[in-house]
Structure 1
Amino acid sequence: MTIDEQITAEVLRTIARDEQIKESVLRSSSLYPLLLAAAKRYVTGETRQEVQSRAKELEEKGYRLSVEYIGENTLDAKACEQVKNEFLAVIDDCSVLQRPVGVSFDLSHVGLLVSQEQAFAHVEEMAVAAARNQHDVMISMEESTKTEAIMAMYERLAQRHENVGITIQAHLHRSVEDVQRVLALPGKIRLVKGAFKEPRDIALARSAELNERYLQLAEMCVNAGHTCAFATHDQLIVDELQKRDYFSRPEVELELLYGVRPELAQSMQQNGIPVRLYLTYGKEWYLYLCHRIAEYPPNIHKAIADMFDPTRTAHVGYGEK
């Protein structure tokens, strides 16, 4: 990134976490539809019906799928119960698909900040429902202040349910030890760089050093023969993973966010590499949109164009006919 792009990324990550800005946007009758139009490049829609429709189309094109109902930091027990029920409905909907799906979620969305026991019970119910159709449930990683609680919850769940997986953020300094911890458990490991703004004493900035850390963690997973998804759009990392022939291993796949680099998804799939697309839906798309643009600030140009021509995002790549 250029200096200006780095500044833009930092600003976007900051405003993404500003609740006053978020509320102003979501309550604005003029801004809401404009930003929703931009978000639909990366979010399949606001409803479960929209994500399921897109999932069927993409499965027909040969992609593996992950699905997430977007949300986090739910602070009301009743609301957490409603979120869990929405995930159970997602799991049920996915039973009509031909391949198993990864159902992803933030623990703070299903109760981690209300009651750890409630969160555990909710995920356990989701895991049991998912296992009936051979689906996985994948725990996403959140800010570093929650990392240890998430890791401890995962270790507890994974000892009871083999279809519960975990996400590891390569940028955190603790992640080498965290990968060593989770390699002893059966669930899938999803390796990401990390999207959250963290202090330098906790995490690496986007850099060549971070790329090396990512590859180090990838090597640990592959050498252990562990099921893993390498979730990255960084061409340098993808090229190195290919050079090392990691994608030829049956336990390894490439995971890409819906709407981000669809041309990479197509080319990798055409070369016989298993590609999983991460589909999201729901009304909590504001944070997600900010993070997608922050990861590659020139996407702001696409966002502005999408706001004023929503047809641009009606079919986002992936070999549409």
Structure 2
Amino acid sequence: MKPMLSQRALHEAAGQGLRILAADERCRTAFTTPGSVLQDVLSPAARRYVLAAGRDEFLDHLDVLRGKAYRIAVEFVGEENSDPAEIERVVDEYLTVLAHEPVPEQLGFDLSNLGLSSSRDLATRNTARITGAAAGRGCDVVLSMERAPAVDDVLGTYRDLADEHPNLGITLQAYLHRTPADIDTIPVDGRKIRLVKGAFTAPADIALGRGPALDERYLTLAAQLLDRGARLSLATQDATVLGTARTSGLLDRVEEIEMLHGVRPALLRTYREAGYQCRIYATYGENWWLHLLHRLAEHPPMVLTALADIAERHQGDGHTVGAGY
């Protein structure tokens, strides 16, 4: 019989289990099948993390969050995409959002949703189209980071476009062993750098697992990026990491704290009320399987909240936009 796990170890193991489910092709196929029972049953839980299925409703909801003095980042949620028509639809979504008033302060997206699986050149061209339009609206674009095999392509696209697009930033994953060396190969000074722990499963020879060693690396990388002039976003929902950053004074040097919408709103509110700049990373769209499972993995006790959200739909209740913020 296995020994009882500590609460932190149990949460880390549960998070790993959720990430495995997120990547399971059988589950993802079941989710995308027309009339999917999986999609129907889990949709009330997803609405806590995905603000809306459609753009107009999503943009209305953003006004609620802005009214609470949060910065906003916007993503049209999706997964790996190779259909040319669908890729173009994703690009059009971002261009349409950029035409809206008030304009989002920041956009984020995966290159795999812009054609990376077809070719890096296609993804790069589409990124340049969005980033150029965003510059004209005073908006930053921060590339999301993906699974370990795609890191070279994401970093390469960032390097290719960075000189021409000063509003382009990048997400770095602290859990990858390669990240400290990658920092030496990309533009950092004056750039928006979004530092995350890393949401995907990866073997030990590629990445650290969740735990104190990763926490330490995350804070070390944050300090190094700040020393090199990065406009740093601490993108984490980890209360322990944020507490250490605050005690050490590191938190006073970052541009902002960022959390994914719906994960730990009360924690983010605490920092906003303490005077720190705080950003909510908000998503919309229908292709949310990966997003939902990864959000639950960020804070596994939220699985209970997800079950409660499902129950509330059957009781006729709904999730209130901005609740907890």
Which letter does structure 2 place at the counterpart of 1:11? G
Q: Which moved more, 1:47-56 or 1:18-27?
A: 18-27
Deviation of 1:23 (Å): 2.7
The residue aligned with 1:25 is 31
The residue aligned with 2:63 is 56
Deviation of 1:267 (Å): 1.2
The residue aligned with 2:285 is 282
The residue aligned with 2:301 is 298
The residue aligned with 1:71 is 78
Deviations 1:49-103 (A, max 9, x none): 122111111111110000000112111223212211111112222x424xx5110
Which letter does structure 1 place at the counterpart of 2:113? H
TM-score norm. by structure 1 comes to 0.92
Aligned residue among 10, 14, 22 for 1:16: 22
Deviation of 1:222 (Å): 1.5
Indicate conservation of the 8 Å contact 1:179/1:217, yes or no.
no
Q: Distance in 2 between matches of 1:136 and 1:156?
A: 17
Deviations 1:147-175 (A, max 9, x none): 01110110111111001110000000011
Aligned residue among 77, 94, 102 for 1:96: 102
The residue aligned with 2:3 is none
Number of residue pairs matched by the alignment = 315
Deviation of 1:295 (Å): 2.4
Q: Which moved more, 1:176-185 or 1:238-247?
A: 176-185
The residue aligned with 2:139 is 135
Aligned residue among 223, 230, 237 for 1:226: 230
Q: Distance in 2 between matches of 1:208 and 1:4?
A: 14
Aligned residue among 46, 52, 73 for 2:53: 46
Stretches of structure 1 lacking an aligned partner (at least 5 in a row): none
Q: Distance in 2 between matches of 1:6 and 1:217?
A: 21
Aligned residue among 260, 264, 287 for 2:263: 260
Aligned residue among 157, 172, 190 for 2:176: 172
Q: Does 1:121 align with 2:125?
A: yes
Q: Distance in 1 between matches of 2:250 and 2:128?
A: 32
Identical residues among aligned pairs (%) = 36
Q: Distance in 1 between matches of 2:311 and 2:193?
A: 39
Indicate conservation of the 8 Å contact 1:265/1:318, yes or no.
no
Deviation of 1:242 (Å): 1.3
Q: Does 1:188 align with 2:192?
A: yes
Which letter does structure 2 place at the counterpart of 1:317? A
Q: Distance in 1 between matches of 2:9 and 2:272?
A: 34
Deviation of 1:178 (Å): 1.6
The residue aligned with 1:110 is 114
SS at match of 1:44: strand
The residue aligned with 1:37 is 44
Indicate conservation of the 8 Å contact 1:263/1:317, yes or no.
no
Deviation of 1:142 (Å): 0.3
Indicate conservation of the 8 Å contact 1:229/1:254, yes or no.
yes
| Change beyond 3 A, Cα 1:291–1:106 | same
Deviations 1:279-318 (A, max 9, x none): 0111111111111112222211111110121435223424
Aligned residue among 290, 312, 319 for 1:313: 319
The residue aligned with 2:213 is 209
TM-score norm. by structure 2 comes to 0.91
Q: Distance in 2 between matches of 1:215 and 1:247?
A: 10
Stretches of structure 2 lacking an aligned partner (at least 5 in a row): 1-6
CA RMSD of aligned residues (A): 1.8
Deviations 1:191-217 (A, max 9, x none): 000010001000000010000100110
Deviation of 1:241 (Å): 1.5
Which letter does structure 1 place at the counterpart of 2:308? A
